[in-house]
């Protein structure tokens, strides 16, 4: 994707019931990062062979590795970076993401997690606070935890389950058996030079770069939305403790108080509870300004117009700006081909309604793990292939229609006049915003529920699957 920002390798639905994950043998306590000893290095050939290779130890890869390892599968988890490492993200989990964390058996009661009760929406001269809905399918609280901690915690959970993780392994391409034309492993760069890892099934969770997918000729679909996000941390005593995630649907340049200007995109402010906040903004490819915007300058301009007491100024900035491309709406498919499954950002699984990626990455990992377990229980051949192709069908059933609806939504709000009108019309109407929250965040019950749940299900039922 050509855009004026530096890309990051990874970021940050109608069918709400993910296939049941493999249950852990015993309850999992809150997992904390281990001391950073020298990462394990593959030396013997047996170190480079497994039942399954998972490429990338982000939320998708680590979740898949955990479920498979708990089921007794020999898993190699290959991560190009070395923990601790950061990723560009809002650091916030909606209840949809919290569900996936709880499904792994993780205790979220500790001080490492900052809970929130809902979403605060700002726009059109209105500020509206909406509690997360009470549902059967999802919890009624969100969480905030920096990706630097969150990703390492998930990776260590996979290791605890039995996965063999190698860090500093840059996977460059799939290894393909010329006779069968199927993936039999991966090629990688390591500290010891080029190496090859082998497994009959490979799960690609290598982020927006999607090297594994492109190596098989699975290219990005230009007719599906992309997003871009820019994030920075700030010291802010005034905003660090907040019961709500805050979303700004209109970004205003108020440096000239007499002549404020509406800027493209949307912004967020997520308190981290430790004296700092995660502040960022995003824009969709449906906006005419997508490729021509200086996003760092845009963010500075927006924050310079926020109240002085918030402290969101250059003097309080922590570190540099980070930016990332957000692959949305299944913009890379098919999600399975010739022994390779695509998870999370590698399969374009960011929600086109709201830019959320972690929840959907973990959901894809849960569904893919079930397909892999079914495949490994069968002999190689048509039956195994049918099980793996079932992942494609399951993901389409799970998110296809919802993401198609989200793609139409992203096209509409890419027009500033539409976004401005919708914001001013919708925000003052709490009853309508109850529906909007459920639709945009994918937070509605698959069965039953209230009028809003039924409305979202109806909307997705009449839209062709993505």
pLDDT digits (tens, 9 = 90+) for 50-87: 999 999 999 999 999 999 999 999 999 999 999 999 99
Direct distance between the N- and C-terminal alpha carbons of the chain, in angstroms, rounded to an integer: 21
pLDDT at residue number 206:
96
Question: What is the rounded CA–CA span in Å between residue 252 and residue 261?
Answer: 6
- Beta strands 118-123; 142-144: pairing state: unpaired
Pair 140, 118: CB distance under 8 Å: no
Question: CA 197, 202, 207 angle in degrees (round to 5)?
Answer: 100
Q: Quick one: pLDDT at residue 241? A: 96
| pLDDT averaged over 10-residue windows placed end to end, the chain, 466 residues | 37 35 42 58 83 98 98 98 93 97 97 96 91 97 96 98 97 95 96 95 96 95 91 97 93 75 84 97 84 88 92 96 94 96 97 95 98 95 96 97 92 74 80 93 95 96 84
Alpha carbons within 13 angstroms on the beta-carbon side of residue 65 total 32
Q: Contact, 172 vs 155, CB < 8 A?
A: no
**Selection from 116, 91, 113, 57 nearest residue 231 by Cα:** 91
What is the sign of the dihedral through the CA atoms of 191, 196, 201 and 204? positive
pLDDT tens for 212-268 read: 999 999 999 988 989 999 999 999 999 999 999 999 988 877 777 778 777 767 899
Give 284: exposed, middle or buried? Use CB within 10 Å, 0-12, 13-18, 19+: buried
Q: Which pLDDT score is estimated for 267?
A: 93
**Whether residue 249 has a cis bond before it, omega within 30° of 0:** no
SS (H, E, C) the chain: CCCCCCCCCCCCCCCCCCCCCCCCCCCCCCCCCCCCCCCCCCCCHHHHECCEEEECCCHHHHHHHHHHHHCCCCEEEEECCCCCCCCCCCCEECHHHHHHHHHCCCCCCCCCCEEECEEEEEECCEEEEEECCCCCCCCCCEEECCHHHHHHHHHHHHHHHCCEEEECCEEEEEEEECCCCEEEEEEEEECCEEEEEECCEEEECCHHHCHHHHHCCCCECCCCCEEEEEEEEEECCCCCCCCEEEEECCEEECCCCCCCEEECCEEEEEECCCCEEEEEEEEECCCCCCCCCCHHHHHHHHHHCCCHHHCCCHHHEEEEEEEEEEEECCCECCCEECCEEECHHHHCCECCCCCCCHHHHHHHHHHHHHHHHHHHCCCCCHHHHHHHHHHHHHHHHHHHHHHHHHHHHHHHHCCHHHHHHHHHHHCCCHHHHHHHHHHHHCCCCCCCCCHHHHHHHHHHHCCCCC
In this structure, are residues 263 and 194 in contact, taking their beta carbons and an 8 Å threshold?
no
pLDDT at 124: 82
Distance, CA of 442 to CA of 451 (rounded, Å): 15
Q: In the prediction, which pLDDT does 284 show?
A: 86
Report pLDDT for 36. 60
- CA dist 69 and 285 (Å) reads 38
Structure tokens at 435: 């529906």
């Amino acid at each position: 994707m050509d855009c004026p920002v530096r890309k990051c390798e990874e970021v940050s639905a109608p069918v709400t019931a993910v296939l049941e994950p493999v249950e852990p043998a015993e309850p999992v306590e809150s997992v904390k990062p281990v001391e950073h000893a020298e990462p394990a290095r593959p030396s013997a050939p047996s170190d480079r062979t497994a039942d399954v290779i998972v490429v990338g130890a982000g939320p998708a890869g680590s979740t898949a590795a955990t479920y498979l390892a708990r089921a007794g599968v020999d898993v190699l988890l290959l991560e190009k970076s070395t923990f601790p490492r950061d990723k560009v993200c809002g650091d916030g989990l909606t209840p949809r993401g919290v569900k996936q964390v709880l499904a792994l058996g993780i205790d979220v009661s500790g001080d490492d997690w900052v809970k929130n009760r809902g979403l605060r929406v700002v726009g059109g001269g209105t500020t509206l606070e909406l509690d997360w809905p009470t549902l059967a399918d999802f919890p009624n609280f969100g969480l905030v935890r920096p990706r630097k901690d969150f990703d390492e915690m998930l990776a260590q959970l996979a290791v605890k389950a039995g996965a063999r993780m190698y860090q500093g392994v840059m996977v460059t391409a799939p290894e393909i058996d010329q006779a069968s034309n199927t993936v039999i492993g991966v090629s990688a760069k390591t500290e010891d030079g080029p190496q090859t890892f082998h497994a009959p099934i490979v799960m690609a969770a290598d982020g927006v770069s999607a090297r594994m997918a492109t190596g098989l000729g699975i290219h990005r679909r230009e007719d599906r939305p992309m997003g871009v996000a820019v994030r920075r941390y700030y010291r802010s005593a005034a905003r660090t403790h907040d019961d709500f995630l805050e979303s700004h649907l209109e970004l205003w340049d108020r440096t000239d108080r007499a002549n404020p200007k509406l800027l493209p995109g949307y912004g967020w402010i997520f308190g981290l509870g430790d004296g700092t906040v995660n502040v960022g903004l995003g824009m969709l490819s449906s906006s005419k300004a997508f490729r021509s915007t200086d996003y760092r300058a845009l963010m500075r301009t927006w924050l310079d117009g926020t109240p002085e007491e918030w402290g969101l100024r250059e003097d309080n900035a922590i570190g540099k700006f980070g930016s990332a491309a957000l692959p949305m709406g299944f913009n890379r498919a098919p999600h399975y081909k010739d022994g390779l499954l695509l998870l999370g950002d590698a399969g374009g699984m960011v929600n086109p309604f709201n830019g959320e990626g972690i929840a959907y990455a973990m959901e894809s990992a849960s569904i893919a793990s079930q397909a892999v377990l079914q495949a490994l229980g069968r002999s190689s051949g048509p039956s195994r292939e049918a099980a793996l192709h079932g992942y494609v069908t399951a993901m389409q059933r799970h998110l296809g229609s919802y993401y198609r609806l989200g793609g139409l939504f992203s096209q509409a709000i890419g027009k500033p006049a539409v976004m401005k009108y919708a914001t001013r019309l919708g925000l003052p109407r709490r009853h309508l915003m109850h529906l909007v929250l459920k639709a945009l965040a994918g937070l509605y019950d698959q069965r039953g529920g209230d009028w809003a749940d039924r409305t979202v299900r109806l909307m997705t039922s009449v839209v062709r699957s993505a």
